[in-house]
Every structure is written in structure tokens, then in C-alpha cells.
């Protein structure tokens, strides 16, 4: 994945399009920049990669074909860490799913629970 990050020209469209960018401590274009410069480890400490909703808006907008969402997913290392408000690890996500939860959130949760679907 690293080789792909040098295609980024830091135009900022991914962060501009990202619905969560305002809450993130490190917006998408920054973590692509960090990963490209070898800052893989520091990216793993950030909250941002967990706030990523896997909506792929960033990847649809990127003019260079960089994939920030996939980079975040790889940075998450696939360990399932998705806690509800009481900090309890939510095990069986698909069981608790009901149609009131926005589809988007479900996909993000599944991806973060270490069950990457696509």
C-alpha cells in the first residue's frame, strides 16, 4: 500500500469530502502524508483511523487514485476494537444490528470489528 501513497499530490480533496474530517485529529490527507513519509506507527496512535466511516468519499474524489480509507483500514491492523459508550467491546455486531442503525455505521462497525467485507 505504501508505494501508492507517493501518488498523492496533497490537494486535500479527500479531507474536503470526508464527513468526519472536522472531528478528526488527523484528517485523511495528513495520514496519507504521514504513511508516505514512513510515519506508519504514529498513524496507528491517532483516533482518526477509528473515526473513519468507510464511506469511501475520499477515494471517489481522489484525482490520483490514492485510497485513504483502505490505508486507514490497514493502519487499524484489522484488530477488532469497537466499543459502545460503556467501553465494552461489541462482539456480535451483526446480531445486534437492527434497521434503525444507519447502514453506513453498520458497514463501518463490521470493518472495524476485524470482519473486513470488501
Partner 1 sequence: MRIGVFVCHCGNNIKATVDVALLAERVREGFLWGASSVSPSVSPSVSPSASPSVTSVVFSADYMYLCAEGGQKMITDAITEHGLEGVVVCACSPRMHEATFRKAAQRAGLNPYKLEIANIREQCSWVHADKKAATDKALSLAKAAIAKVKLAKPLFPGENTVEKRALVIGGGIAGIQAALDIAEAGFAVDLVEKTPSIGGKMAQLDKTFPTLDCSACILTPKMVEAASHENITLHTYSEVEKVEGFVGSFTAVIRKKARGVNIKKCTGCGDCLAACPMKKIPNEFESGMANRTAIYIPFAQAVPNVPVIDRNHCAYFKNGKCKRCEGACQPKAIDFSQEDELIAERYGVIVAATGYEPIALDAFGEYGYHDNKDVITSLEFERLTNASGPTGGKLLRPSDGRVPKRVTFIQCVGSRDATARGKPYCSKVCCMYTAKHAILIKEKHPETDVEVFYIDVRTPGKSFEEFYRRAVEAYGVRYIKGQVGKVIGENGSLRIQAMDMLENGRYDSVTDLVVLAAAVEPSADTKKIARMLAAPADVNGFLSEAHPKLRPVESATAGVFLCGMANGPKDIPETVAQASAAACKAIGILMKDKLVTNPCTAKADEDLCNGCGLCVGVCPYGAISSEGGAFPRVVCVNSALCQGCGGCAAACPSGAMDLQGFSHRQITAEVDALCL
**Which spans of this chain sit near partner 1 (rule: CB under 8 A)?**
7, 9-13, 15-18, 21-22, 27, 29-30, 57, 61-65
Q: How far apart are CA 61 and CA 42, in angstroms?
A: 25
The DSSP code for 37 is T
Minimum CB distance to partner 1, residue 29 (Å):
7
Query: What are the grid coordinates assigned to 89, written together?
Result: 467491546
Identify which of residues 64 and 90 has a Cβ nearer to partner 1 in the complex: 64
Minimum CB distance to partner 1, residue 23 (Å):
10
Identify which of residues 19 and 78 has a Cβ nearer to partner 1 in the complex: 19
Identify which of residues 15 and 110 has a Cβ nearer to partner 1 in the complex: 15
Minimum CB distance to partner 1, residue 70 (Å):
15
Contacts with 89 (C-beta within 8 Å, 6 or more apart), sequence order: 80, 81, 82, 83
Residue 69 CB coordination number (10 Å): 22
Amino acid at each position: 500500500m505504501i508505494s501508492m501513497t507517493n501518488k498523492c499530490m496533497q490537494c486535500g480533496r479527500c479531507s474536503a469530502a470526508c464527513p468526519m474530517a472536522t472531528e478528526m485529529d488527523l484528517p485523511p490527507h495528513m495520514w496519507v502524508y504521514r504513511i508516505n513519509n514512513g510515519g506508519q506507527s504514529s498513524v496507528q496512535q491517532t483516533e482518526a483511523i477509528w473515526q473513519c466511516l468507510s464511506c469511501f468519499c475520499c477515494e471517489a474524489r481522489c484525482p490520483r487514485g490514492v485510497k485513504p480509507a483502505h490505508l486507514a483500514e490497514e493502519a487499524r491492523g484489522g484488530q477488532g476494537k469497537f466499543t459502545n459508550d460503556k467501553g465494552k467491546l461489541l462482539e456480535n455486531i451483526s446480531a445486534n444490528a437492527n434497521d434503525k442503525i444507519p447502514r453506513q455505521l453498520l458497514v463501518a462497525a463490521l470493518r472495524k470489528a476485524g470482519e473486513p467485507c470488501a
